Amino acid sequence: MNNYPYIIASLPDLALDFEKHEFDYEFVRENIFFSLSEEDRRLVEWLEQGFVAENLNEDFYRASSRCGNKFIRNYFGFDHQLRSEKVAWLQKRDSGEDFDEKEDLRKAFAMPDIFRREQAISTLVWNKIEQMTELEVFSIDQILAFLAKAHIIGRWNRLDRTTGRKLFEQFVQEIDDTYNKNKID
């Protein structure tokens, strides 16, 4: 038995406005997590594994593409496309992948202001999450989408321009390291 209607009805409204909010991802996540079945908890844990940069490698993406949950497959499929495109852009080449958001993503990468660039990328991800769940009503996918969007808000709540610039540079280095490791393998 699931509690999806109850859980979803109790969720706060989220908006991506890049302002700092009194929003505690962990608090909201814990309230959701303990209302879910064991199977659904595993999906939340899977989603959150993808929020950890060190876990995002070809093995993770391959495993997520075989996940029985549609949101996990689609969300990390898009995340993989985004990261592959970022690596290709940094290396001044074409990734060879074709997806709806590719042109908008490349325009975002070309923005000279790192902070605005990250805002544009976050907006693309946010919109993709909404697109993936637009026909979902009371399902675990709707809850996973909420948590993915809440993670984006939580990330922006932790950032200021200086921290954002450092994190972005770290992110670029991690992607470059991942690409070079996979190129060697």
What does the pLDDT read at residue 18?
85
Domain that holds residue 74: 4-11+22-184
Please list, residue by residue across 104-125, b when 16 or more beta carbons sit within 10 angstroms of its beta carbon and e when fewer do: ebeebeeeeebbebbbbbbebb
Cα separation, 22 vs 107, in Å, equals 31
Residue 17 lies inside a defined structural domain of this protein: no
Q: What is the rounded average pLDDT of the residues 31-58?
A: 95
DSSP structure class, residue 53: G
Residue 16 lies inside a defined structural domain of this protein: no
Name which of 122, 132, 4 is nearest 71 in CA terms. 132
Q: For 91-105, how does the pLDDT look when each residue is reduced to its tens digit (9 = 90+)?
A: 999 888 899 999 999
Question: What is the reported pTM?
Answer: 0.85
Q: For 86-139, how does the pLDDT look when each residue is reduced to its tens digit (9 = 90+)?
A: 999 989 998 888 999 999 999 999 999 888 999 999 999 999 999 999 988 899
Residue 132 lies inside a defined structural domain of this protein: yes
Q: How far is CA 79 from the centre of its chain?
A: 6
By the 8 A CB rule, do 115 and 92 touch?
no
* Tally of domains within the chain: 1
Q: For 148-184, how does the pLDDT look when each residue is reduced to its tens digit (9 = 90+)?
A: 999 999 888 877 656 666 766 766 676 666 666 655 5
Residue 142 lies inside a defined structural domain of this protein: yes
